[in-house]
Structures are given as C-alpha cells and as structure tokens.
Structure 1
Amino acid sequence: MATADYFLILVVAVCTYTDFKCRKIYNAVLFPAAAVGLVGNFYAGGPAGGLAALKGLTLGMALLFVPFIMGGMGAGDVKLLGVVGAFKGPDFVWAAFLYTALVGGLISIVVMIRSGGFGARVKAALFTLLSVLGLMPRVNLLDTIYTGSAQTFPYGIAIAAGTALAYFLG
C-alpha cells in the first residue's frame, strides 16, 4: 500500500468515528483530504493523475447526491465518498459505492428489524411496486408508513466498510 492509501484509511477512520460519535462528518477533515488527494494524484501522475482524481471526486459525490437531496443522508457522507474518489479515482469509487450500497442496505434491514418496522415497510413497498407494474389495482402504501418512526444510522460506517471491501476485493 502506498502512503496515500494509509492517509485515506486514516481520513475514513476519523470520519467514521465522528459520524458514529457525533453524527457529523467534519469539513475540517474532508476539505484538506480532498485537496491532498487531488494534488497528490496530480503530483504522482501528472495531468492524467490529476484528471483521474477530479473524475473520482466528482463521481463519488454525484453517486450520493440524489439520496442527499431526498434527505436520506447528510452532506458529509456525499463529500466523504468524493474524498475516496479523489484518492483512488473513478473506477475504485464506483466499486466502493456498490459495496457501500450493499453494506448500507444490510445495516438498514437490521435497523428496521430491531425497530419493528421491517414487515410493514416491505409489504408497503411490495404492494406499491406490484401496482406500478400493473399486476394489481393502483395503490400507494408507502405513505402509510409513519416516517416519524424511521430509525437512522451513521452512513459513514457503510462508506468505510464499502471502501474497505473495494480495497480487499479489488
């Protein structure tokens, strides 16, 4: 592993800790880390390295932008995946995103089961999907789920796990 990889691991670990402890990923960590990723890749790989880092940063942030706009996660999560992309480039951040989505989905299922809302949410989603596909009369049961009871978790944990899986699984 290169020195930059160790630095990225440190940044992700710090962000995961603060997200877990304080439910916040700090810009004071993210902005300098993004700059180090961009400048470091430009220094190591010239303009092509800098462009790959910029593409990775942009793709990492773009992948989580819609969930952020919809209120499903915080801006720190978006920027953290962007930092991963700035260090490792677009191919790596795409893999990290896919693994993050899988881990995040598993954590979400566990959180829903523990809060007692799993069955109702699955039923509402399934019936709504079947009605959209025209396999049953038109219904939208998603509105019937009491959103105030929704449990959340710090998504930085899923991003850290997804990034680690991308490292280890290639």
Structure 2
Amino acid sequence: MMWLAALCVFLAAACRYDYGERRIPNNLIIWTAAAGAVWRLWNERAPGLLWYLGQAVLVMAILYPLFKIGGLGAGDVKLLGVTAGYLPAEKILVFLFCSLLVAAMISVVKMWKRGAGGAQGGICLSGPVLVSVLLLLGGVY
C-alpha cells in the first residue's frame, strides 16, 4: 500500500494546482506516471510495466471522447489514466465509477446552491480522484 500513499501525495499536488490554477501541469502528470511505471517495473518486472502502460492508455482512450465533447478537461483525462495504472486491473472500473460519482455529487450540490446554471465552468476532478483512491485505501472497494 506504500505505492498508494505515494500516489496520494501526487494527487494532493494535482489538487493544489487544479483548484488553484484550474489546470494540472503536464510535468506533474509525467512525474506521477514515471513513479507508477517504476514501481510496477520494480515489483512485477517488464510485464508490470506493460500492464501499467496498457491500463493508463486504455483509460485515457476510453475517456478521450468525453474530453472531445467538453465533459472532461485534458488534465483530468490524463490524471485518471495515470492513476488507473497504479491500481489492480479489477479495481479500475470501480475507481472510475467512484471518481465520477463524487464529481457528480459535487456538481449537483453546486447546481443546487447556485440554481440550474450554477455548475458552469465545471468542477475540478482531481479532488474526486483523490477521494476515490482514499476510499480504496480505506477498504471501501
């Protein structure tokens, strides 16, 4: 679980940028990806590295259409993909579901507080991603 703790540090940094500047720097995504790839390579050798890359690219490819229609930002898609690479394959769909569910709940609260047009400008997805990883660490899924 040490690797998930390291992931939480990267996700906390992503939250700082996402909530402060409304963007996630590419160099933070690259460092997060490099740490995950090295961790998988160290523990599982070449197959682990290939699984990491495959999971990350697959999640990004699946979420790319949401970026194209404006539902997600590019940094959000990259962050979700890089984070998915850290997780066991059987946890990825639950991770995506939890992340997007938390984001949807935040969006509903924003709309409720400000009226129907209150969620304009979107929400920062790095927070829900961090919450989802913390739920995994806490044994919720």
- For normalisation by structure 1, the TM-score amounts to 0.73
Could you say what the CA RMSD is over the residues aligned between the two structures, in angstroms?
A: 2.1
Per mean C-alpha deviation after superposition, the further-off stretch among 4-13 and 149-158 is 149-158
**Fraction of identical pairs, as percent:** 29
Distance 1:149 1:88 in 2: 30
Partner of 1:41: 40
Partner of 1:52: 51
* Structure 2 residue identity aligned to 1:41: R
Does the Cα contact within 8 Å between 2:32 and 2:82 map onto a contact in 1? yes
Gap change, CA 1:57 and 1:149, over 3 Å in 2: closer
Q: Does 1:154 align with 2:131?
A: no
Distance 1:47 1:112 in 2: 46
1:26-55 CA-to-partner distances (Å, cap 9, x unmatched) read 111111211221122022101221222122
Does the Cα contact within 8 Å between 1:56 and 1:91 map onto a contact in 2? no
Distance 2:119 2:46 in 1: 49
Report the count of equivalent residues: 140
Does the Cα contact within 8 Å between 1:60 and 1:94 map onto a contact in 2? no
Does the Cα contact within 8 Å between 1:53 and 1:86 map onto a contact in 2? yes
Instruction: Tell me: higher relative CO, structure 1 or 2? Use CA pairs within 8 A at least 6 residues apart.
Output: 2
Distance 1:89 1:80 in 2: 16
Does the Cα contact within 8 Å between 1:38 and 1:54 map onto a contact in 2? yes
Partner of 2:14: 15
* Structure 1 residue identity aligned to 2:106: I
Distance 1:28 1:102 in 2: 27
